[in-house]
Amino acid sequence: MPELAIVLPTYNERENIGPVLSALQQALEGLDYEVVIVDDDSSDGTAAAARHFARHDSRIRVIQRINRRGLASACVEGMMASSAAYLAVMDSDLQHDERILPAMLAKLKDEKLDVVIGSRNAGGGSMGTLPGQRVALSRFGKKVGRLVTRADVSDLMSGFFVVDRRFLEEVVRSLSLTGFKILLDMLATSRRPVKVGEVGYTFRPRERGESKLDFLTGLEYLELILDKITGNWIPTSYLVFGLIGAGGVLVHLLILRLLLVIAGMPFLQGQAIASVIAMTVNFVLNNRLTFRTFRLRGADMWFGLALFYLACSIGLRINLKTAEFLRDQQISWYMAGGAGIILGSVWNYWVSSILVWRVTRRRLAARGRQTPLDVQ
């Protein structure tokens, strides 16, 4: 049984596989280790390239996930697939310095810690040549992350760490597995103070491939924070759905204003057109953001749009009838209106999940199809 497992989550990283495996071999000489590559069915053949190396080195294993994506869940799946007592997570693009892994492992064991973080902000650490806007973004993310964790660490946004399996097993069933910051997820999930250490390193410039940081990764980070704040009681997808719905109200009012004032259109006609436009905008945004994992395309998208119109029309009726009933009971206008909005939005979210994007059915179907391809 290896003492240390290094988990490498990959997506379209074919050209990095050989260099990172070679670098790990040099850095970990003398250690009993294995490398678990978890690939989210890359289109560039990353999994096939990884298997090529695995055929010649029994320390390399490959898990290819079909119809699933997500860095956090890939990391956890890779860690749980290993029997090693200590588990490391790092990127495969060589921006993390693999040479400090032995020091991180030694610190974890000697000081009996739960996690040791490869930190760009600790003594001896540096952001390297990372652009100023990325440094600022990392600092902002750290400040936001402080809202959900009490752990006093210098680099809360790090994706490079070594963890004791015993600590992982304490928190793994309560993890959000949202987005890409699995370290923050673990620290925020723990019900006790986490024993954390840090080892400084210099963040290297990217030599191959492209950064995966974009608007969606930022949204996923926000969803992780919201999930921890709400204690997993409210689905973060519902919160995003609600925010998009609130934006749809503003779009509706703006379009209605333009149609009434500029076009001189009758109210009912303008209201109908504004409603259709607002619902269409909501559908497009929810398809791209809220339900991005189950995004509809082609003919499915047009069918889903028709169902979305129907669902939202019924939701609007529920909204109005609820508010009307509560007002008849002498409830204040703002409480009656708020209750109507909440019930209508819950209906819209529930029906959209079940019928429009068929989240539950497609998730169960995916589970039935997905058998990780584990190459020894």
User: Distance of CA 242 to CAs 87, 236, 278, 347, 357, Å?
Assistant: 38, 10, 14, 11, 16
Side by side, the strands of the sheet bearing 115-119 are 196-200, 115-119, 161-164, 86-89, 4-10, 33-39, 60-64, 373-375
Winning range, highest mean pLDDT, from 24-33, 199-208, 279-288: 24-33
The per-residue pLDDT for range 145-181, each reduced to its tens digit, is: 565 677 778 777 788 999 999 999 999 988 877 766 7
pLDDT band at 23 (very low <50, low <70, confident <90, very high): very high
CA distances from 230 to 141, 222, 233, 235, 310 (A): 18, 12, 6, 9, 30
For 66-83, the pLDDT digits (tens) are: 877 778 889 999 999 999
Q: Which amino acid is at 269?
A: Q
Q: What are the φ/ψ torsions at residue 76 (nearest 5 degrees)?
A: -65, -40
Q: Write down the pLDDT at residue 215.
A: 56
State the average pLDDT over residues 128-141. Answer: 58
Phi, psi of 62 (to 5 degrees): -130, 130
Average pLDDT over residues 335-359: 78
* Amino acid making up residue 143: K
Residue scoring higher pLDDT (181 or 98): 98
| Beta strands 4-10 and 115-119, pairing class | unpaired
Q: How far apart are CA 310 and CA 294, in angstroms?
A: 20
- DSSP-assigned beta bridge partners for residue 73: none
Interval 190-213 mean pLDDT: 78
DSSP β-ladder status, 161-164 and 115-119: antiparallel
Asked whether residue 213 carries a pLDDT value surpassing 60, the answer given is: no
DSSP-derived secondary structure letter, 203: P
Retrieve residue 214's tokens: 């974009």
Q: Is the pLDDT assigned to residue 369 strictly greater than 50?
A: no
The closest of 70, 77, 46, 59 to 208, measured between CA atoms, is: 46
Which stretch of 94-98, 198-202, 312-316, 318-322 has the lowest confidence by average pLDDT? 318-322
pTM of structure:
0.68
Rounded Cα gap, residues 238 and 217, in angstroms: 18
